[in-house]
Amino acid sequence: MKYNLSNFEFRLTCEDDWEILKAIRLQSLFDSPDAFTATYATTEKYHEKEWRNRAAQRTNNQYILAIHNARAVGIVGGTLNSELEFNLIAMWVNPLFRDSSIADHLIVEVKKLAISKGHHRIVLSVSDHKLHAKNLYLKHGFQFLSKLDGISLRSDTTDTKSQKMECFIKGIDLD
């Protein structure tokens, strides 16, 4: 189904969004458990204070939501990893909206976030078997850095390998 993107809002979370952030993050972990290092079981135990801090950008993670009719239907995050690289995290779009260009817009928004933080390079890890995700990132200028890293994206599995990708941001095209 095609959606008119003028009916969507793309924005950073604020503290008042903590319940929305919690709901979409848990939904994403439930829907796609092998796509993330975080697990549903661990994340659902976060207290309200943790969710408020995350939504208010008081942690290392910053989140951008895609909102449609007052409901979050997509999410992407950015954080500094252990190597101080700007790392795209938590990318997910509700299955009902995956045929739209919401994911494209979320990537543009996270690129703008990276630039606003002084970064011109973004890295991410993508599951080896997530062909659609790989193609989406390639379309947005990401390139593979290496072969399979042998890193499990989900802490309780060992068979889901990831590949690291990077993108150098030269400019933002909103069209």
- pLDDT of residue 6 exceeding 70: yes
Domain-located, residue 38: yes
Q: Is residue 33 part of a domain?
A: yes
46, part of any domain = yes
**69 token code pair:** 């009719």
Count CB-CB contacts under 10 A for residue 104.
Answer: 15
Task: Work out the burial of residue 122: count CB atoms within 10 Å of its CB; fewer than 13 is exposed, 13-18 middle, 19 or more buried.
Answer: buried
Neighbours of 69 (CB within 10 A): 7
Q: Say if 174 falls within a structural domain.
A: no
- pTM listed for this prediction: 0.90
User: Is residue 65 assigned to a domain?
Assistant: yes
Q: Is 60 among the domain residues? A: yes
* pLDDT on residue 174: 45
Give the chain's domain count: 1
* Torsions phi, psi for 90 (to 5 deg): 60, 25
- Distance separating alpha carbons of residues 100 and 172, to the nearest angstrom: 19
Residue 173 in any domain: the answer is no
What mean pLDDT comes out for the span 28-34? 96
Nearest to 3 by CA among 64, 94, 130: 94
Question: Which CATH number goes with the domain that contains 104?
Answer: 3.40.630.30
Check pLDDT > 90 for residue 161: no
Nearest of 48, 49, 28 to residue 38 by alpha carbon: 28
Average pLDDT over residues 47-75: 97
The domain of 44 spans 5-168
- The predicted-structure confidence for 113-134, as pLDDT tens digits, reads as follows 999 999 999 999 999 889 999 9
